[in-house]
Amino acid sequence: MHPRPRLLSLTTVLSERARAAVHVTLLALTLAVAGLALSDLGLFGHGAVERIFNDWVYNGAELTAAALVLSRALLVRGERRAWRILALGIALFAAGDVYYTLVLEPMSNPPTPSPSDAGYLAFYVCAYAMMMMIVRVRVRTFHASMWLDGAIGGFSVAAIGATLVLEPVINVTHGPFAAVATNLAYPLGDLLLLAFVVSVFALTGWRPGRAWLLMGLGFATLAIADSVYLFRVAEGTYAAGTILDALWPGGLLLLAYAAWCEPREREEIRFEGLAVIVAPVVFALPALLLLIRANYVHMSVIPESLATAALIAAGARFASTFNDVRKLSNVREHLARTDELTGLANRRHFYASLKSAVDGCTLRKSSFALLMIDLDRFKELNDTLGHHAGDLLLAQFGPRLQTVLRGGAIARLGGDEFGVIVREADGAQGAAERIQDALRAPFKLEGLGVSVQASVGIALFPRDAKSAEKLLQCADVAMYQAKDMRTRFAFYSPRSDHNSRVRLGLVSELKGAIEQGQLVVHYQPQIDLRSGDVRGVEALVRWAHPERGLLAPDTFIDLAENSGVMRELTASVLEQALAQQHRWLCAGRELAVAVNVSATNLVDPGFLADLHETLERSGTPARMLRLEITENVLIAEGPRVRTVLESLADLGVQLTLDDFGTGYSSLAYLRELPVGEIKIDRSFVAEMMSDSDTATIVESTIALAGRLGMDVVAEGIETPEQLELLRSQHCPLGQGYLFSRPMPVAGVERWLALRDAQKPEPRRSEIPAPSTWATTFN
């Protein structure tokens, strides 16, 4: 393992040999530059050694820097063009120096401009081009204020530089035009380079990071070396062989390091109070001072215009900051009204809209509708797939609602509850239907397609209530009505209000009812469609309510789910069903028993142990117990439910997937789970006679399940025609009113006895035609 080199972090992507070559070359270059500095300090005397350093080490160092930058462009992906251009620039610069050493230095009166100047000046062009490209790649999302900071910094530095360097150089430069122009091109080029570096630093929010810092320092070193050189040449004080000479290769060395330094991860630009305006103020100030100075001392037009430009940029910068602050307060206001997850209005804002709708419609004597939407079985989804998945679903549902209900006020009221205001009461039903449309396509949750349904409660103003509070209550009641009746949507009615009070009453009673043994189990036979035998029974719970009579599970399963008594409910059903199965077994009837379990049970850590204990107590073999699980439970890719399913299978318990086709699981996915049987949802059986597509789906499901080694139960068989069609499709098992409704134990026993009596001991060839035996058994 190689420790990750921090400075030359880009070399980690190279092969062992290439990395070693880059490191060695950089080290050699560093030593050469250090040697040059020492030589310039006179350490090697003023003889041949110094000359070798000044000529060949110097030129060699520059060419090496070019090679290092070029190798970065060739060996590492990303920003290649930028580094190639810089390598070219450095090579041209070095070529200028080589030409100088070979041709110009020996001359007594070298010409200006010379081919060397072309090389040096070309370097500027390449350096600007390179910086532009890098800025475009690395600095993507910048705020207007950062560009302005860049401009202020750039102009200001240029103004200062122009005052300090350009003016003296202009003042002392004389001669033919080409010579003057060449000499002026250098300080201008340097100023631009420095201004560029400062602007880039501003663009990075004054946190340039290592790579930019090295690059900036490199360019700045070159610019400073040039400026001092020009200044001295102009004043006639320049002498070769001072430490100044080491600055050029030193600057190029920094660029070579920068080339091999990983650009920093892009950071979020933060706006931190006053700190953000410190930089522009610091850079605007010298520009301001320069302009004040210009009142007293003559200043040439270039620095003056640069300083003015810096101040104009500063003005724009403060205007933009002011604008940001205003926008930010708008954003805050928006956030206070918005639900973060869905982007819809939040409860508070919705309530305000509702109130103003009530006021407005009271004045105009017009009507409107309030819709309350609640997703069905959302808790189950949260429990099985996790809250993150729940959040993902809500986040997708919000925009879908907005698309189907253009114009109306839509809000998330909390949890999986949404509210909608529809302007005309007449539009309420249409809106409710469009909401269902919005749910038609499955939601994408981390690769799984998940379908959900919703129940919508509708309250009308002014018919149902005349205040916002009361209207919300009515919509809530209607929503529960829709849930209970599974009607997808329901209008408020005083009767449903009564029902909702009943519901609330039931919640408080349920726990006690379970303890007092008010839950009873009915059984519905399951038939082997091939032999006509009774395969077993499905246990279906009922609540023998002392006042309200026998209550169907639809009225209280959700209550049990939401009030946290699902564990007790399932335990009671399992206990009764297994005890009954044991009694049947003792009486010589071998009947498989299927019990429905919910998601809550499967994620309950005590469930397995409870089940094991109940099985032991009842003395029935585990293989004769089937657990019916709805599809929603199985979407739990997560290890929790899968582990439970596997443990159940290990126990020997059979698993059936209930209501197949209403959810989102595919057969291929089921194959990975220990599920041996699927139950085709009764909605398919109900539709298959009138809809040939449905019939085809059922047929291919049966065929595919068979090929995967799974059994299929068709549920909700009500007519002989359905049975016939299913048999022709080779459906192995069936269940439905056609055979028998769910019955209490005594009813089942009578039914079985009757069937025994009517049905002769079957021989394979004598299985009666479906239509006859179906009616016989009913």
**Residues found near ligand C2E in the complex (CB under 6 A):** 524, 540-541, 552-554, 557, 570, 573, 596-598, 628, 658-659, 682, 716-718, 736-737, 742
Q: How far is the CB of 471 from ligand C2E (least distance, A)?
A: 32
Q: How far is the CB of 339 from Ca ion (least distance, A)?
A: 35
Name the residue nearer to ligand C2E (CB basis): 251 or 736.
736
Choose from Ca ion, ligand C2E, none: what does 731 bind? Cβ within 5-8 Å by kind.
none
Name the residue nearer to ligand C2E (CB basis): 61 or 629.
629
Q: How far is the CB of 561 from ligand C2E (least distance, A)?
A: 8
**Total residues contacting Ca ion (rule CB under 5 A)?**
4
**Residues in contact with Ca ion, shown as a per-residue x/- string from 570 to 609 under the rule CB under 5 A:** --------------------------x-------------
Q: How far is the CB of 734 from ligand C2E (least distance, A)?
A: 10
Q: How far is the CB of 584 from ligand C2E (least distance, A)?
A: 18
- Rounded-to-integer distance, Cα 83 and Cα 87, Å: 6
| Phi, psi of 45, rounded to the nearest 5 degrees | 75, -165
Name the residue nearer to ligand C2E (CB basis): 483 or 682.
682
Choose from Ca ion, ligand C2E, none: what does 540 bind? Cβ within 5-8 Å by kind.
ligand C2E
Name the residue nearer to ligand C2E (CB basis): 484 or 628.
628
Q: How far is the CB of 660 from ligand C2E (least distance, A)?
A: 10
Of 137-145, 158-166, 652-660, 729-737: span binding Ca ion (CB under 5 A): 652-660
Choose from Ca ion, ligand C2E, none: what does 557 bind? Cβ within 5-8 Å by kind.
ligand C2E
64 forms part of the interface with Ca ion (CB under 5 A):
no
Q: Which residues contact residue 290 at a Cβ distance below 8 angstroms, ignoring those fewer than 6 apart?
A: 159, 160, 163, 299, 303, 304, 307
677 forms part of the interface with Ca ion (CB under 5 A):
no
Name the residue nearer to ligand C2E (CB basis): 86 or 540.
540
Name the residue nearer to ligand C2E (CB basis): 497 or 718.
718
Name the residue nearer to ligand C2E (CB basis): 353 or 598.
598
Choose from ligand C2E, Ca ion, none: what does 736 bind? Cβ within 5-8 Å by kind.
ligand C2E
Choose from Ca ion, ligand C2E, none: what does 716 bind? Cβ within 5-8 Å by kind.
ligand C2E
| Phi, psi of 526, rounded to the nearest 5 degrees | -120, 130
Q: How far is the CB of 359 from Ca ion (least distance, A)?
A: 48
- Rounded-to-integer distance, Cα 77 and Cα 80, Å: 6
Q: Which residues contact residue 274 at a Cβ distance below 8 angstroms, ignoring those fewer than 6 apart?
A: none
- Is residue 458 classed exposed, middle or buried when 0-12, 13-18 and 19+ CB atoms within 10 A define those classes? buried
Choose from Ca ion, ligand C2E, none: what does 476 bind? Cβ within 5-8 Å by kind.
none
Q: How far is the CB of 443 from Ca ion (least distance, A)?
A: 23
Q: Residue from 304, 339, 658, 677 that binds Ca ion (CB under 5 A)?
A: 658
Q: How far is the CB of 639 from ligand C2E (least distance, A)?
A: 23
Q: Taking CB under 5 A as the criterion, which residues in 231-250 touch Ca ion?
A: none
Per residue, the 3-state secondary structure of 148-211, as one string, reads HHHHHHHHHHHHHHHHHHHHHHHHHCCCCHHHHHHHHHHHHHHHHHHHHHHHHHHHCCCCCHHH
CA Rg, the chain, in Å?
42
Name the residue nearer to ligand C2E (CB basis): 206 or 378.
378
DSSP β-bridge partners for residue 445: 448
The token pair at 146 is 């950062």
- Is residue 5 classed exposed, middle or buried when 0-12, 13-18 and 19+ CB atoms within 10 A define those classes? middle
Which residue minimizes CB distance to ligand C2E? 736
Choose from ligand C2E, Ca ion, none: what does 737 bind? Cβ within 5-8 Å by kind.
ligand C2E
| Phi-psi map region of 652: left, alpha, beta (phi>0 left; psi -120 to 50 alpha) | left
What does 256-323 look like in DSSP terms, one character per residue?
HHHHTSPPPPPPPPP--TTHHHHHHHHHHHHHHHHHHHHTTS---HHHHHHHHHHHHHHHHHHHHHHH
Choose from Ca ion, ligand C2E, none: what does 537 bind? Cβ within 5-8 Å by kind.
none
Choose from Ca ion, ligand C2E, none: what does 79 bind? Cβ within 5-8 Å by kind.
none
Per-residue burial over 100-131, b = 16 or more CB atoms within 10 Å of its CB, e = otherwise: bbeebeeeeeeebbbebbebbbbbbebbbbbb
Name the residue nearer to ligand C2E (CB basis): 661 or 716.
716
Q: Which residues contact residue 417 at a Cβ distance below 8 angstroms, ignoring those fewer than 6 apart?
A: 372, 373, 374
Name the residue nearer to ligand C2E (CB basis): 354 or 633.
633
Q: Residue from 339, 659, 677, 711 that binds Ca ion (CB under 5 A)?
A: 659
722 forms part of the interface with Ca ion (CB under 5 A):
no
For residue 676, give Cα distances in angstroms to 103, 657, 716: 91, 8, 20
Q: Which residues contact residue 688 at a Cβ distance below 8 angstroms, ignoring those fewer than 6 apart?
A: 694, 695, 698, 722, 725
The token pair at 448 is 């799984």
What does 72-136 look like in DSSP terms, one character per residue?
HHHHS-SSHHHHHHHHHHHHHHHHHHHHIIIIITT-SS--SS-HHHHHHHHHHHHHHHHHHHHHH
Pick the closest to residue 307 from 291, 330, 322 (CA basis). Answer: 291
Name the residue nearer to Ca ion (CB basis): 130 or 731.
731
Q: Residue from 79, 628, 631, 711 that binds Ca ion (CB under 5 A)?
A: 628
Q: Which positions lie near Ca ion, rule CB under 5 A?
A: 596, 628, 658-659
